[in-house]
Structure 1
Amino acid sequence: MISRPYGDRAVLLEPDDPAQLAGLRATLGAAPGVLEVVPAARTLLVSFDQARTSGAAIVEAARQAEHAPQELPEAALVELPVRYDGADLQDVAEEVGCSVPELIARHSSAEYTVDFCGFAPGFAYLSGLEPALHRPRLATPRTQVPAGSVGIAGEYTGVYPRSSPGGWRLLGRTEAALWDPSRTPPALLAPGVRVRFRPL
C-alpha cells in the first residue's frame, strides 16, 4: 500500500489491489478519530481529528485491514426505472454484437455498486458492468447531455444527475432525481450503495 500525507489532517491511501477499497472504506470509516473517508477509483482520502488520532495510526490501521478478511454489511439497494432509448444504444449493440433488446437485458440484469462519486454533484461511478459491455468514451464529447441520462464508459455505468457536457455512451434515461439540494442527503447514490436498473 502506498500512503501519502495530505496536509496535516488527512492521508491519501492507495492499496495494491483496488478491490480492497470498499473494505478499507468501511473499516476506516468506523475508526476512532476518522472524520471522513472519500473513495476514488484507486485511492481513499481519509481526514481525521488530530486530537484523537494521527496519520501514522490511520496508515497502520489500513495496513492491518488490508490483510484481514473483509465482511461488508449489506448496503441499501436503489432501483432506477430506465427508458432505454439512448442516442448510442443501437451503436453499442452493434459493437457488442447483440440486438438492442439483448443489450438492454444485459445492462439491466446486473447489480451495480457505487464505487465513488465525482465529476459533478451526485454523479456516481457504478462498478459491476459486464466486461463485454466495457466501451470507450466518445472521441468527441457531447456539449450537452440531458439530466438523467444513463451511460457507460470504460468499466463503469452511471447516470448524469444534471444536464452537462459528457462523453459517456448513452443507453437510456431515468426520471429519478440523483441530486436534490433540498433532500438530506442531497445525493441519491453514495459509495457502497447497490443499484439496479429497471427497464420501462
Structure 2
Amino acid sequence: MSIIQIKKQTSKLVAEESSLDPGLYQPDIFIITDSKGNYLKPVIPGRLRSSLHIFSEKGATIHSNIINKAIPSIQAATSPIVLLWFGTCEISKKDGRYSDIIKYPYQSIEQTLTEYRAARDHILQTNPSATVIAIECPYFSIYRWNQSRGFKYNTQSTQLYKDIDLKLKSAINYYNQPLFYFNRNILAPHIAQDQIISSKQRKRPRNAK
C-alpha cells in the first residue's frame, strides 16, 4: 500500500468516523509492542481513544514483562482483542548509535514463536473471551537505519550492510510464515505483504497501467 493510498484511506476513515453512532459498541483493543507503539499513539482516531490501549516500551520483546503489565486491563475487559506486535528487537541489536542483525536470528525466532504461544495461552487463561492476534514483523533496513544515524559508508561497508539486509529479510520471512497458522481463522493484518505491494507500486513506471 502506497503512502498516497494510506493517506486517502485515512481521510476516508476519519470522514466515516464522524458519521458513526457514538453509542456503537467498540471492543477494547490492546496493542502490546515495542517502541512502534509510540508512533501509533498520536494518530489514534478520536472514537477509538477510550477503547484502544497501547502498551509499549523501547526495546521491548516478547520476553519482556510488558505483557504482564497489560494482563490486569485485559482481564477486566469484555471480549477484548489483543494484538501482539514484536519481532524487530528479537532479530536485531543496537551497538551504540547503530544497529546490526543478531548472531543467531533463527534461534531467537524459534524461541520468540514459542513465547508467542505461551503468551496467547496465558492471556486466554486470564480472559477466555479474548481474541489474540500476532501481527507480522514489518520489513526494515539496517542499512538505512544506520545511514539515518550518520553512519559513513564506503564501498566495502555498503556491500556488507546490503548483504545484512538480505539476511534480515530472509529472517523476517521465516518469522512471519508461522504467524499465518498462529492467526488461523482470524482476520489479521498482513503488514509485510502490504510493504511488498507498496514497494512494487513505487517501482512501477508512472505511465504503466
TM-score by length of 1: 0.26
- Please state which structure has a larger fraction of its residues in helix: 2
TM-score by length of 2: 0.25
- Please state which structure has a larger fraction of its residues in strand: 1
